[in-house]
Amino acid sequence: MSLYTLALFLHVSGDVGIFIGLGVQLLSLAALRRARSTEQVRIVAALITLSDPIAVISALLTVTAGLYMALTIWGLQHGWIAVSLTSIVVFLPPVIRIVIEPRMRAIVTMAKEMPDGPLPAALQVRIHDPVLGTALQTMAAIVFGIVFLMTIKPSLVGSIAAMIVALILGLASGLPLWLTARTNRI
């Protein structure tokens, strides 16, 4: 077994972990939207808290192994590598830190602090925030786009086009959340 083969295994394993983390977050948000009591929200909030370390460790593993392969075998001059790295560095950390984490943390904290019983309106508003759902779905689309780049290995122009399509699909997937939020406010 070569170091490249091991790096490839770690890279793919990290990708699987990222999708597990994203999947837990998306399923948790769906479960939160069905919750009718604070107790139910607390149970789901525990899953959200457990998924964070999985996603972070997996992302670090993926990036580290991917950089190793890019620097030792592929080189950074390939369009798909440049666009993948740019997407990972420019898009994912800000969306996670600025949009997703604070909103998820607010839900978890509110659920811990609120008394048992029916779901309070303030917590319902946080749970049904269309920005949170759209951000999670868009992040999943971006990660799928990166996997597309890693498997298809298109040119620079093709890579940029693929990531634009992934971004548009991710944002469009959030449209029902915005329409539902708007309908609920009227």
The residue-averaged pLDDT of 132-144 equals: 95
First to last CA, the chain: 61
HEC profile of 118-184? ECCHHHHHHHCCHHHHHHHHHHHHHHHHHHHHHHHCCCHHHHHHHHHHHHHHHHHHCHHHHHHHHHH
Ordered DSSP codes for 68-101: HHIIIII-TTSHHHHHHHHIIIIIHHHIIIIIIH
What is the radius of gyration, based on Cα positions, of the chain?
18
pLDDT > 80? residue 183? no
Quick one: pLDDT at residue 128?
Answer: 93
DSSP label of 117: S
Q: What is the pLDDT of residue 180?
A: 85
* Average pLDDT rounded to a whole number, residues 11-22: 93
pLDDT tens digits, one per residue of 151-160: 999 999 999 9
Q: Which of 102, 108, 172 is nearest to 140 (CA)?
A: 172
Sorting pLDDT into bands at 50, 70 and 90, what band is 186? very low
What is the structure's pLDDT at 89?
Answer: 85
CB atoms within 10 A of CB 152: 11
Q: Mean of the pLDDT values across residues 110-137? A: 93
Average pLDDT, the chain: 92
Total count of domains within the chain: 1
Whole-number pLDDT of residue 184:
65
The residue ranking higher by pLDDT, 1 or 8, is 8
Q: Is the pLDDT of residue 123 over 80?
A: yes
Residue 182 has pLDDT above 80, yes or no: no
- Check residues 13 and 89 and name the one with the higher pLDDT: 13
- Residues 61-116: tens digit of each pLDDT: 999 999 999 999 888 889 999 999 999 888 888 999 999 999 999 999 999 999 99
Q: Range of 49's domain?
A: 3-185
* Alpha-carbon span 110 to 38, nearest angstrom: 9
Task: With a cut of 90, say whether residue 10 has pLDDT above it.
Answer: yes
Asked whether residue 19 carries a pLDDT value surpassing 50, the answer given is yes
In degrees and rounded to multiples of 5, residue 118 shows phi and psi of -60, 155
Q: What is the pLDDT of residue 49?
A: 85
